[in-house]
Structure 1
């Protein structure tokens, strides 16, 4: 079976492509014009240029494919990108689902995010039952992902076969860009992180997410969502793990949450002016303080999902960065 993968050169996409090849699938990668696609160079796949926000290019990409994995999207923790988020994360998802219907594609796997699901009451765990409610979120990434999921669900009720997966915080190797978590690891190893904040999050290995996507595609029930989460790790615990890996002592100074948020707020104009991406924003700090009791019980039961421990993922990420020259000598 040949499958189209949008976002194939991205953080999760390049690892999914590798896992699909191992599983015997033929892969056609939808690559945005101008993307050098370094992460998938040398892989035995077909490449086609296309943009998920342009319906005709999605149709062209689906030619010769029997199924699709939609991962293309904008992940942003920086305010002020609402239009771009909607255009790609909502319209792009609708375009892919509509094109699958038009082309007679047999199956669609849509990759959403844990942040698309509404937060449960205090003390309760995140489950798929929380559902997608865009009005529960302010304009931004979370809302756009909830809207995108609803667009896909509409098409699934119109005859398209498909499932949705919602990963938590992704870590692990093959982080070419690097991602926000990759930058944390690199900055830590470079001795740039001198303090930490309270809080933590649920982290899952990118390789386990890719395996979970394929399992959901093959075994998931039509119209269902599956959370792909891993293990809660506090920021302090994260730095202790990175300290053991890198030999760099963990920071001892803890920044109070309110002071960290104030610093993120004050520094935002600088990052916007320089067009750089901050390591932490007010939003990301809020996430670290939010409910991270995230259950993957449904995926474990239905899909056989079995994520590895976060320390193994971080060790593999560190070794990968080192082998690729990101850590210098």
Structure 2
């Protein structure tokens, strides 16, 4: 029996779609008031269970008969105000899943993030050998994903059978305008600015496909970067704009401009009580060039990634009339 946490999320829903399409039966965890994506809502191969990964008592019953766990549940946020929630959900929640997998002899696939790998060292490609490092300017989301991954490595040291995947920015129409979809929404609405940063991107279908291959393999105590291609934000924004048939951003957002924007947003948030989307961490990410090496996953699982130009075009098509 397969258990999937974070089952109603963008990645979790795609993973379940692929698992059940191949004939698997799945226990799917969701929060009580979460909306089940329409593409899997009427799937009879799914047993939906209301549970919280921070509620150990409830989780103990869920693990009955389970042999494999895909741990997709996580909070993604760059807002400093969410630090305590990030730690509780991403770190403590993962620790609970690890402990229950150990107690029940269950194989675990943990969805980490490239955020847990840290920044590039002297312009080199980032690989599975890299880890996030503590610094004076703590990035709460990256720290939470790093510490969550450390819980998995702690479990492995105690005998846990587990593999870890580190996806880069995941894109696909199923995200809607949430997560990476916010970027597509921004460009669709005529955003005029681009930054000099770069990052890795990957199609959600590829992430789910490689997760299944990793789970079904005999590999353990390994981690794999899942990233199709590295893109400059300027080029990414242009391709998204082309996909929507709108004018691409033409103005470079200099770091000083973004800092001014951050200060203005901070001031507005004090007056309105609403958090600003432009945070220090978001600014840092947008101007940093992070290039990820996908050789290990590509060679281990003998896979070819979907071209990002195709993924971007498909995502724009899916979101065109939303």
Could you list the runs of 5+ residues in structure 2 that have no partner in the other structure?
Answer: none
1:253 pairs with 251, 254, 258, which one? Answer: 251
Aligned partners of 2:194 and 2:134: how far apart in 1?
32
- Over 3 Å counting, the alpha-carbon distance change for 1:240 and 1:22 in structure 2 is same
1:237 pairs with 223, 235, 238, which one? Answer: 235
* 8 Å CA contact 1:11, 1:175 repeated in 2: yes
1:212 pairs with 196, 210, 213, which one? Answer: 210
- Which residue does 2:108 correspond to in 1? 108
- Over 3 Å counting, the alpha-carbon distance change for 1:281 and 1:135 in structure 2 is closer
Relative to the length of structure 1, the TM-score reads 0.90
Residues 32-87 of structure 1: CA deviation (Å, up to 9, x unaligned): 12212235422331100100011122222222321100011100011121111110
- Which residue does 1:314 correspond to in 2? 312
- Which residue does 2:2 correspond to in 1? 3
Aligned partners of 2:3 and 2:152: how far apart in 1?
16
- Which residue does 2:64 correspond to in 1? 63
Paired residues, number: 319
Aligned partners of 2:110 and 2:188: how far apart in 1?
34
Residues 284-326 of structure 1: CA deviation (Å, up to 9, x unaligned): 221132242210111111122322121111111112223xx41
1:203 pairs with 201, 204, 216, which one? Answer: 201
- Which residue does 2:34 correspond to in 1? 35
- Over 3 Å counting, the alpha-carbon distance change for 1:77 and 1:139 in structure 2 is closer
Deviates more, 1:84-93 or 1:54-63: 54-63
How do 1:184-199 residues align onto structure 2 when only pairs under 5 Å count?
184-191=183-190, 193-199=191-197
Q: Secondary structure of 1:227's match?
A: strand
- Over 3 Å counting, the alpha-carbon distance change for 1:185 and 1:92 in structure 2 is same
Aligned partners of 1:223 and 1:216: how far apart in 2?
11
- Over 3 Å counting, the alpha-carbon distance change for 1:175 and 1:139 in structure 2 is closer
Q: Secondary structure of 1:232's match?
A: strand
Aligned partners of 1:290 and 1:34: how far apart in 2?
37
The offset of 1:260, in angstroms, is: 1.4
Residues 225-271 of structure 1: CA deviation (Å, up to 9, x unaligned): 11101212222212221222211111322221221132124303535
- Which residue does 2:21 correspond to in 1? 22
Aligned partners of 1:76 and 1:288: how far apart in 2?
15
- Over 3 Å counting, the alpha-carbon distance change for 1:180 and 1:67 in structure 2 is closer
- Which residue does 1:222 correspond to in 2? 220
What's the C-alpha RMSD, in Å, of the aligned pairs? 2.0
* 8 Å CA contact 1:132, 1:149 repeated in 2: no
The offset of 1:137, in angstroms, is: 6.9
* 8 Å CA contact 2:167, 2:207 repeated in 1: yes
Aligned partners of 2:23 and 2:244: how far apart in 1?
37
* 8 Å CA contact 1:219, 1:302 repeated in 2: no
Q: Secondary structure of 1:174's match?
A: helix
Relative to the length of structure 2, the TM-score reads 0.92
* 8 Å CA contact 2:197, 2:289 repeated in 1: no
